[in-house]
Structure 1
Amino acid sequence: MIAYIKGILVHIDDNAIIVDVNGVGYEIICANPFAFQSLLDHQVTVNTYHYVREDIQVLYGFQNEDEKLLFTKLISVSGIGPKGALAILAGVDIDGFVEAIELEDDKFLTGFPGIGKKTARQIILDLKGNLSSMISVSAQSSVNKAQDSEGIKEAQEALKTLGYTEREIKAIVPELQQENSSSTDEIVRKALALLMKKS
């Protein structure tokens, strides 16, 4: 497996770059070839994925390890090939994309070329929880808050079915929001403990 190519960037076109390594030109297919424009005629190190099938061998290139990791994860999803993965990478904000997967936002995912509802659900099913190392601290925080909020909503519904009033439940929501758990069961247990104290 060719993990990276190091050499002189000698050519850029709409689909690929060519890197000269000791007189051998490696064509590397990229999502955004012109992102390397400032490095033309300079030495570059390009992260690569060596795609091998019976009838084809292709080098795909990436600006950083996060792009490469997302590419490899995407092509592992049923219904997404290298071209589809590159089309996503061409217009993706990695934090936003991973956040959409974690929050199961299939509407966001279907905004990418070739991604229908079925494929969006498959992406979420296959990749949710597997990309957290790629997401920034601020984005991770917003994901956690959203998940916490969802857990609290579910807990509120559970408490209503147990006979508690809207007023009683709302009185303890601020304390529940301070909890770190997004598990509905844990939130319900905490809520019941708080309600018993207040009764």
Structure 2
Amino acid sequence: MIDFLRGQVAHFETDHIVIDVQGVGYRVFTPNPYLFTKMEGDITVYTHHHVREDAMLLFGFSSREQLKLFRRLIDVNGVGPKVALGVLAGSKPEALVMAIQQENVVFLTKLPGIGKKTAQRIILDLKDKLDNIGLDLTAAGASLFVDMPTVAVDTEVEAWSEAREALKALGYTDAELDRVWHGLQERVHADESADSLIKKALQALFKG
């Protein structure tokens, strides 16, 4: 079992980073790959080693608290590792825990990959199991827990709303995202998904 990795980021994509640990590159899937690329020198990534019949995958996080929350999420029936990553990418850990404890289905269903039934299952399974995660909700304050805004029924707007929250979780500002959205609107299709918009937005952000 790999508990953590320490090394330098050798490569990154929209869903993972490659960490060079003494000449060995480890591919690590993470909700915030760009967070690690902003760090200088060696980084520490706390990992979950996921084994299935056709693959062995590493999922990595910037803190043990986030790792614990990820492990709670994948214990819920119907929530796999990739869905759990999307959930953590779309919300701050403190806000997610508070949403679950306050049974806020509306907040949860705005997160990537989470429908109403899955949100209700997450609440049922985890509501009383998150106190020992280690997050300081008292210090965080209620300001962290703000419902995602209600958006128009238009599919494009709804998808961008989801994508925007995920991008904000990566550290991008409202001004940067407004500028990117202005440039993307002409290239957005009616059936565009939030994941697709995230990729397009990141490409535009990297180009400046």
Which TM bucket (shorter chain)?
0.5 to 0.7
CA distance in 2, matches of 1:18, 1:112: 26
Is 1:76 matched with 2:83? no
Q: Residues 90 and 112 of structure 2 are in contact (CA less than 8 Å); yes or no, is this contact kept in structure 1?
A: no
Q: Tell me which residue corresponds to 1:184.
A: none
SS at match of 1:131: coil
1:100-123: CA deviation from partner (whole Å, max 9, x where unpaired): 111111111111112111111110
1:132 counterpart SS class:
coil
Q: Report the counterpart of residue 148 of structure 1 in structure 2.
A: none
**How big is the shift at 1:8?**
2.2
Deviations 1:122-156 (A, max 9, x none): 101110111123342146889xxxxxxxxxxxxxx
Distance 1:62 1:34 in 2: 12
Segments of structure 2 that go 5 or more residues without pairing to the other structure are 144-208
Partner of 1:89: 88
Per the TM alignment, residue 70 of structure 1 is displaced from its structure 2 partner at its CA by 0.9
Supply the distance in 2 between the matched residues of 1:117 and 1:79 (Cα, whole angstroms): 12
Aligned residues: 141
Residue in structure 1 matched with residue 27 of structure 2 by the alignment: 27
Pick closer, same or farther for the CA change 1:38–1:141 going to 2, 3 Å. Answer: closer
Greater Cα radius of gyration, structure 1 or 2: 1
Higher RCO structure (Cα 8 Å, ≥6 apart): 2
Map 1:1-150 to 2 at 5 A.
1-39=1-39, 42-133=41-132, 134-138=135-139
Does the 8 Å contact 1:49/1:61 carry over to 2? Answer: yes
TM-score (norm 1): 0.66
What is the TM-score with the length of structure 2 in the denominator?
0.63
| Whole-Å separation in 2 of the counterparts to 1:78 and 1:104 | 18
Partner Cα distance (1:113, 1:141) in 2: 23
Aligned-partner Cα distance in 2 for 1:102–1:16: 29
* SS of equivalent to 1:100: helix
AA aligned opposite 2:32: N
Deviations 1:159-195 (A, max 9, x none): xxxxxxxxxxxxxxxxxxxxxxxxxxxxxxxxxxxxx
Equivalent AA in structure 2 for residue 91 of structure 1? G
Contact 1:48 1:62 in 2 (8 A): yes
Cα distance, 1:32 vs. partner? 1.2
Conserved in 2, the CA contact under 8 Å of 1:98 and 1:135?
no
2: distance between equivalents of 1:140 and 1:102? 14
RMSD of equivalent CA atoms: 1.8
Query: What code does the residue aligned with 1:57 have?
Result: M
C-alpha separation in 1, matches of 2:8 and 2:114: 36
Q: What secondary structure sits across from 2:65 in the alignment?
A: helix
